[in-house]
């Protein structure tokens, strides 16, 4: 597989603080979060790994647990459109998750988190 193809399949993990840098890219991202509550049938408020508040537009997707990973594009800096939802259970060390997210954005560790 060519380097460009591998790069196209990379899905960055984000927290609330890093969301803004991906809004205009149309890139799918991964958001590990804790379900707070549903605001509407297809819209939920969640807490990102860094403690920031975000919203998920779910369009019929179900959340099978308290902690979930949402994969999809960002609608704006505070909202992600769920194209895939992964259940992560009812207990998760969010500090550890946030540490991994921050390391994945550190240039020193790029090769650990991408296929370069």
**What pLDDT is stored for residue 2 in this prediction?**
39
Domain 3-111 has CATH 2.40.50.140: yes
Q: Which residues contact 100 (CB under 8 A, 6 or more apart)?
A: 13
What residues in the chain have per-residue pLDDT under 50?
A: 1-7
**What pLDDT is stored for residue 7 in this prediction?**
46
Q: Structure pTM?
A: 0.86
Angstrom distance (rounded) from CA 7 to CA 56: 25
Where in the chain are the domains?
3-111
């Amino acid at each position: 597989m060519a380097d460009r193809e591998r790069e196209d399949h990379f899905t960055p993990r984000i927290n609330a603080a890093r969301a803004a840098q991906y809004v205009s890219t149309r890139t799918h991202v991964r958001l590990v979060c804790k379900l707070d509550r549903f605001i509407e049938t297809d819209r939920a408020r969640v807490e990102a790994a860094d403690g920031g508040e975000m919203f998920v537009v779910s369009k019929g997707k179900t959340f099978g647990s308290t902690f979930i990973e949402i994969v999809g594009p960002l609608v704006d800096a505070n909202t992600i459109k769920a194209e895939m939802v992964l259940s992560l259970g009812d207990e998760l060390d969010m500090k550890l998750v946030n540490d991994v997210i921050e390391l994945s954005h550190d240039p020193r560790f790029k090769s650990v988190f991408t296929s370069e």
